[in-house]
Amino acid sequence: MNPLLLAVVGLAVAIAGWSAAVLSGRYGMATPVLPPTGLVTMGVIVVLTLVLGIRVLRWRNGKKKKMLNPILAAWTLVLAQACAYTGTVLLGWHAGIFVEQLRIWSLRSSQELTGLALGMGGGGLVMIVVGLVVERFCRIPPEDGEDAAKGLPGHPRPGKAKGEGEYAYRGD
């Protein structure tokens, strides 16, 4: 994942969240913030992502006696990326609401909403960190060094005899 892309998405969603908070306040509607039960859902997603990520990490760093299900590893990677993107959206949205709520912070109801938006933004930040960390857990380090992975002359790729082609089928 590209952290710059996450930052751009977060900024765009923060502007949208701020705009939604301004418009909802202007027209007397409720501020669009998630309820506190959203933190429980975030926690479950984070724990599940961490558990699956640690499982992949243990396999990657262990003796590899038992083969890891490749579908499980792929699902773990996709879950980690989804966790990071979801955290970015939640952090951005609630950061925009938090900025708007600071303007009217002295009112009692605003203090509750400001704290809720801050908590949701913090939960989003935790999701981003866990998603990025678990994504790193899913990377497989090169086994025979950089030269073999690049296929440089004199260093055949693993599993290929010297002089063998890149593809199994040649259309000659």
List, for residues 95-122, the tens digit of each pLDDT value.
999 998 888 766 655 677 888 899 999 9
Q: How confident is the model at residue 166 (pLDDT cuts 50, 70, 90)?
A: very low
Tokens of 124: 């989003």
Domains of the chain, earliest start first:
3-26+36-140 (1.20.58)
d(CA 43, CA 116) in angstroms, rounded, equals 15
* Residue 69 vs residues 17, 75, 76, 102: alpha-carbon distances, Å: 40, 10, 11, 49
**Local structure of 29: helix, strand or coil:** coil
What global pTM score does this model have? 0.77
List, for residues 12-66, the tens digit of each pLDDT value.
999 999 999 999 988 888 888 899 999 999 999 999 999 999 999 988 888 667 7
